[in-house]
């Protein structure tokens, strides 16, 4: 399978994830979708997908791409989605990469959210993970904080466990 095919498959997988899971309103999220902003960002062309093909070890490739994207943020982009084969890195390794990048991310004004199929994430029975790929989602922290404040006022987090909410919001 060529790199272009894998990248295309990854791109369409993210699109399907956004449409099928993240954009469907749910009572679990106060009538909002699990990610109320994802579909519009996708429609606006503001989501950049980048598949890391495994030519380089993910333990060094992921941090390099996090640093690269946060230094050279693509214009008109809300979210950069780094994707990779989750069998090539553990969920713990992925968490450590994001934790280690946090000081640099904080300094540059970005947040990295991780998603690994081995770390099942759900809220009130609604499954949130992509499930097929390992992911790092990069976003500007200021915009993410504004969205979180708006969601808080809408009771979006009412069914989240305190632990899960704190974990997600500390990233």
Rounded Cα gap, residues 137 and 135, in angstroms: 6
Rounded Cα gap, residues 81 and 6, in angstroms: 14
Which tokens go with 46? 């503001």
Rounded Cα gap, residues 21 and 34, in angstroms: 8
How confident is residue 15, by pLDDT bands cut at 50, 70 and 90? very high
Q: What is the pLDDT of residues 108-154, one digit of tens each?
A: 999 999 999 999 999 999 999 999 999 999 999 999 999 999 999 99
The number of distinct structural domains making up the chain is 1
Q: Which residues contact 96 (CB under 8 A, 6 or more apart)?
A: none
Query: pTM of the prediction?
Result: 0.92
Domain ranges, residue 154: 3-169
Rounded Cα gap, residues 15 and 22, in angstroms: 10
Rounded Cα gap, residues 54 and 85, in angstroms: 8
* pLDDT confidence of residue 1: 47
What number of residues does the chain have?
A: 171
Average pLDDT, integer, range 19-43: 96
Residue in 40, 7, 37, 32 with CA at minimum distance from that of residue 123: 32
Question: With 90 as the cut, is the pLDDT of residue 77 above it?
Answer: yes
Residue in 111, 60, 50 with CA at minimum distance from that of residue 84: 50
Q: Which residues contact 168 (CB under 8 A, 6 or more apart)?
A: 113, 160
How confident is residue 7, by pLDDT bands cut at 50, 70 and 90? confident
Residue in 69, 142, 135, 63 with CA at minimum distance from that of residue 106: 142
């Amino acid at each position: 399978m060529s790199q272009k095919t894998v990248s295309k498959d990854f791109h369409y997988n993210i699109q399907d994830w956004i449409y099928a899971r993240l954009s469907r309103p749910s009572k679990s999220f106060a009538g909002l979708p699990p990610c109320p902003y994802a579909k519009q960002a996708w429609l606006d062309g503001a989501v950049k997908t980048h598949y890391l093909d495994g030519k380089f070890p993910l333990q060094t490739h992921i941090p390099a791409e996090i640093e690269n994207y946060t230094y050279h943020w693509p214009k008109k982009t809300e979210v950069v989605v780094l994707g990779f084969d989750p069998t090539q890195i553990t969920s713990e390794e992925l968490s450590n990469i994001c934790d280690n990048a946090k000081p640099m991310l904080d300094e540059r004004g970005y947040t990295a959210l991780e998603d690994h199929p081995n770390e099942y994430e759900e809220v009130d029975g609604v499954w949130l993970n992509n499930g097929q790929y390992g992911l790092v989602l990069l976003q500007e922290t200021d915009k993410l904080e504004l969205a979180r404040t708006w969601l808080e006022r809408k009771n979006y987090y009412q069914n989240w466990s305190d632990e899960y909410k704190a974990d997600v919001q500390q990233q």
